[in-house]
Amino acid sequence: MIFGVGLIGGSVALALKKAGIAVQIIGVGRSLESLQEAKNLGVIDTLEINIQAACHAAEIILIAVPVAQTTAILQSIKPYLNANTVITDAGSTKGDVLAAAKIVLGEQFKQFVGGHPIAGAEKSGASAAKADLFQAKNVVLTPAPETSIHAVASISRLWQACGANVSEMSAQTHDSIFAAVSHLPHLLAFALVDDIASRPNAEQLFGFAASGFRDFTRIAGSHPEMWRDISLANKDALLGEINAFEEELSQIKKLLADENGAGLQILFERASTARNNWAKTQQ
Amino acid sequence: MIFGVGLIGGSVALALKKAGIAVQIIGVGRSLESLQEAKNLGVIDTLEINIQAACHAAEIILIAVPVAQTTAILQSIKPYLNANTVITDAGSTKGDVLAAAKIVLGEQFKQFVGGHPIAGAEKSGASAAKADLFQAKNVVLTPAPETSIHAVASISRLWQACGANVSEMSAQTHDSIFAAVSHLPHLLAFALVDDIASRPNAEQLFGFAASGFRDFTRIAGSHPEMWRDISLANKDALLGEINAFEEELSQIKKLLADENGAGLQILFERASTARNNWAKTQQ
């Protein structure tokens, strides 16, 4: 069963159907309207607003909601959780989710496997879901020392069936990696757009923004509530990343103020080589 | 005639040919090899390394080279410049170019029209040139008070023939606009990639970078020499933009450190609304 049939939950449902895995997918969510839409789109087989009934049959429970709602959902399912059900999530931060799961699930924490599918998510809703969203994408699982090996294997198979490359690491390692390569870039993109939007001549500035600006700021169009939650959940690592970036920027500012062309060129070359080498690995 | 038959110069040549404007396009450049490639690709009709001969017949001279080479090229053509020839450039900064043109061209500065086609340029070379590169794109002309009205009209027609939307503003206004919407984002993208590339665990970090990172850092793959020149040429406006961005970032850092979720959400919403509204105007 899937809590939150949006882009992620919906795409898992479609991928499992496409993989021919014979499961009945029950959609559970906050809004009957969204669930009905997901059912009409053929994403889920059954919609359920009665948590007890939904939990009764579930082999796997995937929680795919904004990360701040995870605790409330864990609390709502706890009373009805079978001993054999495996629970996983799809949140972009893992330290906070594991801490919450440990408190709420107690003895049954061993049935919980933290997960994070790395797939673009600036669009949302079941209508954006697609079966190949996770094809060749990374999914990170963050088992705790207590987590049952059976549970990890079960969730690993789930994501492999969706076409993903599954890797495992600690929640702390996960959160520090994603602070650098995802959360910081989002914050910088939000910062740049907000900086420009708040100027008296914002309209003129936007009028001359072109394709470089378009790509750089694409992630500034992301879901504000989701990114508020991610930022707060990964606060410490993210503050560390902001500090490191501020140092880097202040180094560039000094090279520029000193008109140190050679220094700027070395830095730009290092970045451009690294970026272009990375891009080759993505093809 | 076109100095520098790379992406920009080559695309102008192809666009004029496609528009059926009966001109003979002479390519002039640093490297005989590049000129020969442009001729083989059908981008230029004639290649010329003798500046005197090239200038003799030229109605319009387009200088489309890295901005730091503009002065040397103006010096090389000055002795052979007819009174009716109009000169223009395609550099990303305009204050420095106009200042150099004024010194080098003296009396004939009135024949010079500063220009900046706003078209993605992270690929380079004549082989990347295409006839529709400027279709529906902005081209900014920055005439000085001395510039001949005839010269401005001539260059305006040239770019309109390439399909561009032409606007006019002072060099100073141009440079301050592009510091905000182009030069700063490039610097931030270079900074982020350099920051990550210089870590001991860079390989691991790049290994989990996904589509948000890809788009945000695309411009960090840009030409280091070109961006060194642009940064230095627009130093003052760019330093002002870095300072404004640092203030914005420090505001976000404070909201995060204070765990001010409401404040973060307001800022992210403002940015995301502005970004998505802008994207609608680009379709």
The ipTM assigned to this model is: 0.90
Q: Tell me whether residues B195 and A245 touch, CB distance under 8 A.
A: yes
A window 106-145, beta carbon within 8 A of B:
118-120, 122, 137-138, 140
Tell me the chain B residues in contact with residue A191 when contact means C-beta distances shorter than 8 Å.
245, 248-249, 252, 271
The strand pairing partners of A116, in sequence order, are A140
pTM score, whole prediction? 0.89
Same structural domain, B155 and B207: no
Nearest Cα neighbor of B80 from B105, B97, B99, B103 is: B105
Same structural domain, B187 and B150: no
- How would DSSP label each residue in A113-154? E-EEE----SS-SGGG--TTTTTT-EEEE---TTS-HHHHHH
Q: Are B201 and A169 in contact (CB under 8 A)?
A: no
Domain that holds residue A250: 174-281
Question: How many Å apart are CA B183 and CA B189, to the nearest integer?
Answer: 10
pLDDT at B90 over 60: yes
**CATH number, residue B256:** 1.10.3660.10
Same structural domain, A137 and A179: no
**Strands (DSSP E) along chain B, which ranges?**
2-3, 26-28, 46-47, 60-63, 86-89, 112-113, 115-117, 138-141, 165-168
B120 — pLDDT class (breaks 50, 70, 90):
low
**Strands (DSSP E) along B146-255, which ranges?**
165-168
Question: How many Å apart are CA B67 and CA B65, to the nearest integer?
Answer: 6
Same structural domain, B201 and B120: no
Same structural domain, B122 and B227: no
Distance, in angstroms, between B55 CA and closest chain A CA?
A: 32
Nearest Cα neighbor of B59 from B111, B14, B133, B101 is: B111
Same structural domain, A123 and A190: no
B22 — pLDDT class (breaks 50, 70, 90):
low
**CATH number, residue B125:** 3.40.50.720
Q: Tell me whether residues B265 and A191 touch, CB distance under 8 A.
A: no
For the segment B144-168, the average pLDDT, to the nearest whole number, is: 97
Per-residue buried b or exposed e for B244-258, using 16+ beta carbons within 10 Å of the residue's own CB? bbbebbeebbebbee
Asked if the C-beta of A233 comes within 8 angstroms of chain B's C-beta atoms, the answer is no
Question: How many Å apart are CA A32 and CA A51, to the nearest integer?
Answer: 13
Residue-level pLDDT at B283:
75
Q: Give the containing element (helix H, strand E) for A26.
A: strand A26-28
Domain boundary among B141, B169, B197: B169
A183: its two tokens: 């959360």
- Three-state secondary structure call for residue A46: strand
Q: What percent of chain B has pLDDT over 70?
A: 98
**A219: closest chain B residue by CA:** B212
Same structural domain, B202 and B273: yes
Tell me the chain B residues in contact with residue A246 when contact means C-beta distances shorter than 8 Å.
246, 249-250
Distance, in angstroms, between A205 CA and closest chain B CA?
A: 6
Same structural domain, A104 and A178: no
pLDDT at A122 over 70: no
Angle at CA of residue B120, ends B72 and B99, nearest 5°: 30
Tell me the chain A residues in contact with residue B283 when contact means C-beta distances shorter than 8 Å.
none
Q: Tell me whether residues A208 and B138 touch, CB distance under 8 A.
A: yes
- Angle, helices A184-197 vs A235-257, to 10°: value is 60
A13 — pLDDT class (breaks 50, 70, 90):
very high
Tell me the chain B residues in contact with residue A256 when contact means C-beta distances shorter than 8 Å.
231-232, 235, 238-239, 242
Asked if the C-beta of B235 comes within 8 angstroms of chain A's C-beta atoms, the answer is yes
Q: Tell me whether residues B242 and A253 touch, CB distance under 8 A.
A: yes
For the segment B188-212, the average pLDDT, to the nearest whole number, is: 96
Residue-level pLDDT at B122:
56
- Three-state secondary structure call for residue A51: helix
Domain boundary among A169, A186, A202: A169
Same structural domain, B138 and B214: no
Nearest Cα neighbor of B158 from B268, B274, B278, B11 is: B11
Domain boundary among B130, B149, B169: B169
Number of domains in chain B: 2
Same structural domain, B85 and B184: no
Residue-level pLDDT at A125:
82
Nearest Cα neighbor of A187 from A235, A138, A255 is: A235
Same structural domain, A19 and A109: yes
Residue A269 CB neighbours (<10 A):
17
Distance, in angstroms, between A276 CA and closest chain B CA?
A: 6
Nearest Cα neighbor of B118 from B86, B143, B91 is: B91
Residue A164 falls in which region: left (phi positive, over 0), alpha (psi -120 to 50) or beta = beta
Asked if the C-beta of A189 comes within 8 angstroms of chain B's C-beta atoms, the answer is yes
Question: How many Å apart are CA B233 and CA B225, to the nearest integer?
Answer: 12
Same structural domain, A106 and A156: yes
Q: Are A178 and A227 in contact (CB under 8 A)?
A: no
